[in-house]
Amino acid sequence: MQPLQERHLSASALATYQSCALRFRYRYLDNLYWSQLWGAPPEDRARIERGQNFHLMARRYYAGLDPARVEDAVEQKELESWLTLMQGFMPRTFDQAFYPELELRLNRPDLRLQAKFDLVVVSPDGKATIFDWKTERKLPTRSYLDKAPQTVMYRYMLAAAGGQYSPRGQFKPEEISMIYWNPMHPTRWHRLEYSQARFDKDEQFLRDLVSRIVKTPRDMFLATTDEGTCRRCEFQMICHGKRAEQLDLSDEEELREATLAWDDLPELP
């Protein structure tokens, strides 16, 4: 396995470290990936799979492909209604560039990061909008979203590493915004604008955090003392000898790329 300083860290990895350094070690150094879905109630599994299917349908729609179909007729109907809402909210047009499931990497010697966006839309005037689809019932507040590591990382990454998708070869922070949209709450969406001042602040924050992580000796990734975090952690059996009481099933990104639930995301200073 690559040394930590050579690996590209995702928003979910950073959020994991912030919530519990030991959990970060288990996942990203010891490579102990225990799926949150193992042992989950059937209704939770179904909900997560529906969210994953919705992401797949959204990806295919913005890529100009026919939407995928699922076997279950009831679920298919619900997914189609979500897709219709999404198409009404952000229709695919020919005057803008659509990049579904765009992946970016930042390759600086002291800052290696990666991000995978649900969708980036770039208009001819160079403005870029990052879309993130959520399908969980719970709606985080705007102030929470503004400080969430996913918001910090995604806007920063598009400005720092997404220049090839800009008609001018570089996105200014002021040209970037991020929208969280949920088909279960289609009118309660949030657009989070960006700025040079916030970019500078985010860069400093990310540098400090990544530097702290890569300098941490292996045996110094310490356990959190927050019992609430442990209760939702898949490694509770290792640390405390019992199964997680409440599995982290509410964050789709984790289930797609191993991240944390909104409840777990620590706020930035």
Q: Structure tokens of 215?
A: 């300098």
- Among 113, 121, 176, 230, the residue binding ligand SF4 under the rule CB under 6 A is 230
Q: Smallest gap, in angstroms, from Cβ of residue 235 to ligand SF4?
A: 4
- Among 233, 247, 249, 255, the residue binding ligand SF4 under the rule CB under 6 A is 233
Contacts of 48 (CB under 8 A, 6+ apart): 37, 40, 249, 252, 255
- Among 85, 146, 224, 263, the residue binding ligand SF4 under the rule CB under 6 A is 224
- Among 10, 17, 18, 23, the residue binding ligand SF4 under the rule CB under 6 A is 23
Q: At what angle do helices 73-89 and 42-62 cross, to 10 degrees?
A: 50
Q: Smallest gap, in angstroms, from Cβ of residue 79 to ligand SF4?
A: 33
Helix (H/G/I), strand (E/B), else coil: 165? helix
CB closer to ligand SF4, 239 vs 268: 239
**Closest by alpha carbon to 91, among 135, 61, 115, 54?**
61
Q: Is 210 in the site for ligand SF4 (CB under 6 A)?
A: no
Q: Is 239 in the site for ligand SF4 (CB under 6 A)?
A: yes
Q: Smallest gap, in angstroms, from Cβ of residue 18 to ligand SF4?
A: 11
Amino acid at 63: A
Neighbours of 41 (CB within 10 A): 10
Q: Structure tokens of 165?
A: 């998708």
d(CA 75, CA 56): 14
Q: Is 223 in the site for ligand SF4 (CB under 6 A)?
A: yes
Q: Smallest gap, in angstroms, from Cβ of residue 212 to ligand SF4?
A: 17
Q: Footprint of ligand SF4 on this chain (CB under 6 A)?
A: 20, 22-23, 26, 223-224, 229-230, 233, 235-236, 239-240
